[in-house]
Amino acid sequence: MALANRNLGVVVAELAAVIVANKAWLSELDGRIGDGDHGANMAKGFVRAADRGAGQDPTLGAALAVLSDVLMGEIGGSMGPLYGVMFDDMAHALEGVDVIDITAVDTMLKAALAGVQAMGNARVGDKTMIDTLAPAVAAFETHRDKGLAEALARMVAAAETGRDSTIGLVARLGRASRLGERSRGMLDAGAVSCCLILTALAQSLTKRLS
């Protein structure tokens, strides 16, 4: 199972649609323990990237590179550089790839995790997007012998479990860490947006598999 690495700007458009649909929820979650701008900032960046890629015929890497440029250059805060680096490193991992197969996705996901970890220094348990991303990438690796569609499905399940694990955690990094114990009992907005992105990415790739 694989798909040709061309005309995939639509993947970023589908990611943007999911972020826009969840904009209010993300902002509400962020408002409980952060400053409430996560949904608006993410939506602004993803929509701009989708608009800029429209009408072109990019590879997945090229489409993700546009998304990265917008997030890093125009969004700021903490999520701009974190997601910016994540998509940039994913784009680099896909350089020279003609067919997106299980090896390409595996390489791309590992690059995503390494990029976010290098930029943000978060570890599993800190109540951040890493609590979603790290177990998701590990699950894909574990199940890669089951084929791309199944490995992506396992990745999504692990991402959801990771996202929900943040409810019981006390934030140790970022703005929410200033609340200490008061941050426990609520989802982390970054863990939620990361789960939305991984889920949308998996759906987008899976339905184009042949």
Partner 1 sequence: MMQRFLNDPDDVVDETVSGFVKAHGAQVRLHPGNPRVVVSVDAPSAGRVGVVTGGGSGHEPAFLGYVGRGVVDAVAVGEIFSSPTANSFADAIRAADGGAGVAVLFGNYAGDTMNVKLATRMVAKEGIAVATVIANDDVSSAPPEERDGRRGVAGEILMWKIGGAKAATGASLPEVQAAAQKAIDACRSVGVGLAPCTLPAVGQPNFTIAPGTMEVGIGHHGEPGMRIEPLRPANDIADDMLRIVMAEHDLPPGASVAVLLSGLGATPVNELYVLYDRIESGLADRGLRVHRALVGNYFTSLDMVGVTLTVMALDAELTGLLDMDCTAPAFGGW
Interface residue list for partner 1 (CB under 8 A): 31, 35-37, 72-78, 80-82, 84-85, 119-120, 173-175, 178-180, 182
Q: Considering beta carbons, is residue 5 or 39 the nearer one to partner 1?
A: 39
Chain-centroid distance, C-alpha 139 = 15
Q: Considering beta carbons, is residue 58 or 174 the nearer one to partner 1?
A: 174
Q: Considering beta carbons, is residue 14 or 74 the nearer one to partner 1?
A: 74
CB of 201 to partner 1, least distance (A): 23
CB of 128 to partner 1, least distance (A): 10
Q: Considering beta carbons, is residue 40 or 209 the nearer one to partner 1?
A: 40
Nearest Cα residue to 27 out of 88, 90, 77, 69: 77
CB of 188 to partner 1, least distance (A): 14
| Cα gap 59→97, rounded to integer Å | 9
Start-to-end C-alpha separation, the chain: 6
Q: What is the CA radius of gyration of the chain?
A: 16
CB of 160 to partner 1, least distance (A): 25
CB of 38 to partner 1, least distance (A): 11
Q: Considering beta carbons, is residue 62 or 70 the nearer one to partner 1?
A: 70
